[in-house]
Each structure stands twice: as C-alpha cells, then as structure tokens.
C-alpha cells in the first residue's frame, strides 16, 4: 500500500521530506494545487501534495480537490492520510495542540466541484463511514506514541464539520454545528474525503486544534500560527510512524 499525504495550513511544503521525484499533477479534472512529491519522511516512503499550493496561494473554496485526489491516485497512492488544522467546538477538544482523529464528517460547504460523476457515469458510493477504520487506528496509536508526558491529548473519534471559508464562522454557526454533533470545524475536509472514496481510496484524517471555535474562547491569528508551528513536528512524526 502506497500512502499519500495531503496537508494544508502550516504544511505548505515539507522541508523534512527527502524528495526523490516530483511530478506535475495534471489530470482530466485540471491541475493539482502543487506537484506531487515522492520521497521519504523520517525514512518512510510517501507521496506528498500541498493542498493550498506553494505559499498557501489557494483559499479553501478555490482548491481543485478533484485534481488533487486524482493526482495522488495517478502517482500511485492507494490510501491517503490528510492533515487538517481546525477549531475546537466541544469541551474535550478546546485545548490548542489537541490532536483529533475524526470518525465522521458533516458537509456545510457549497459550490465546490464535489464528485467525479459525469453524464452516463454516475457514481454512488457508500459514505456511512467516511474514514477508514484501520488507518484511523494507526494514526491514533502513532500520535499517542509520539506524545510525551504533558503533551496535549489525542482524541480517538469525533465529528468534523466542514465549513465554506475562507472567513471563520460566527458563534451562532458554531452553536448550530454543536447541535448537529460536530466536535471540530475546518474548511477543507469536504469534498476531499468523499472524492477519495469515489476513487476507491482509503482515507483517514488527523486534526490539529489551533484555536477554540467562535464563541468558545478568544481567537488570535498569531496564536493560531504559533500553535500550528508547534504542532508541526509531532504531526509529521505521527504520519511517518503511521505509514504501514
């Protein structure tokens, strides 16, 4: 099984990746956000794609999700590990630095190209359990092994609410998400997860909580960037350890 890693905010490039080969991700659905890099992360062979492009050039609604997922598949990935920076909604995931490995997702996005279905080739996939169980277990185990005493917690399971962005949500929107059962909120989980499933690819995500969601605490963009930078090393080590 070849693992593709797709990551966004705070992971626009991986200096830690020993790049062996790079391909430009041109697909029938357009060009991917960035080239697909084949290399080794902490000694483990992986493929990597920067979701927002080099320099974080693309807003969440501007990303060519179809091109990104297809480019990783075409480069040889049979499964994806996705990294998401999120806001914490519920009480157990408000601490910045907390890692959440979600088991469910709710889609609040709109207007995005969200399927590979075409006239004459309509795809219906079972999306009851969007994230792959064994990959999730591997991420949880790896994250807990990488976390030392006093490290922010690793939460096994949770519901990811995918918002449209690029603005952050209102407190009322977050209240609605909590009523809907969401634990964290991000902007890039959908349609990325469903597209992977349409292509028959296993996928699991790991969420780095970088701020309390609106109405749950003070939101500081400087603190968000600092938390993302501080969590980067742990996330990358977790990904490398989770690769089969």
Kind of pairing between the strands at 154-156 and 99-101: parallel
Q: How confident is the model at residue 78 (pLDDT cuts 50, 70, 90)?
A: very high
In the chain, where does DSSP find H-type helix? Answer: 65-74, 133-146, 171-179, 192-198, 221-242
Out of 71-80, 89-98, 161-170, 215-224, least confident range:
215-224
Largest CA distance in the chain: 55
Total Cβ atoms within 10 A of residue 17: 19
- List Cβ neighbours of 33 (8 Å cut-off, separation of 6 or more): 25, 49, 50, 51, 52, 53, 58, 63, 64, 67, 68
Q: What is the pTM of this model?
A: 0.94
C-alpha to C-alpha distance for 157 and 140, rounded to whole angstroms: 9
pLDDT at 167 over 80: yes
Could you tell me the pLDDT band of residue 65, with boundaries at 50, 70 and 90? very high
pLDDT grade, residue 1 (50/70/90)?
A: confident
Query: What does the pLDDT read at residue 147?
Result: 75
């Amino acid at each position: 099984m070849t693992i593709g890693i797709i990551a966004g905010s705070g992971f626009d490039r991986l200096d830690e990746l020993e790049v062996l080969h790079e391909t430009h991700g041109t697909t029938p659905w357009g060009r991917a956000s960035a080239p697909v890099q084949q290399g080794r992360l902490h000694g483990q062979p992986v493929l990597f794609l920067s979701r927002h492009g080099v320099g974080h050039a693309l807003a969440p609604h501007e990303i060519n999700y179809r091109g990104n997922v297809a480019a990783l598949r075409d480069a040889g990935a049979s499964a994806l590990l996705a990294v998401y920076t999120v806001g914490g909604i519920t009480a157990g995931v408000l601490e910045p630095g907390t890692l959440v490995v979600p088991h469910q997702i709710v889609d609040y996005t709109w207007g995005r190209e969200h399927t590979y279905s075409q006239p004459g080739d309509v795809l219906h996939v079972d999306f009851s359990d969007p994230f792959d169980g064994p990959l999730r277990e591997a991420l949880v185990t790896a994250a807990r092994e990488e976390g030392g005493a006093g490290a922010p917690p690793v939460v096994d399971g949770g519901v990811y609410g995918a918002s449209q962005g690029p603005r952050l949500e209102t407190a009322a929107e977050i209240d609605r998400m909590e009523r809907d059962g969401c634990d964290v909120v991000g902007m890039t989980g959908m349609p990325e997860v469903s597209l992977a499933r349409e292509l028959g690819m296993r996928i699991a995500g790991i969420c780095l909580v970088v701020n309390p969601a609106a109405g749950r605490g003070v939101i500081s963009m400087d603190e968000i960037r600092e938390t993302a930078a501080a969590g980067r090393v742990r996330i990358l080590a977790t990904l490398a350890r989770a690769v089969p």
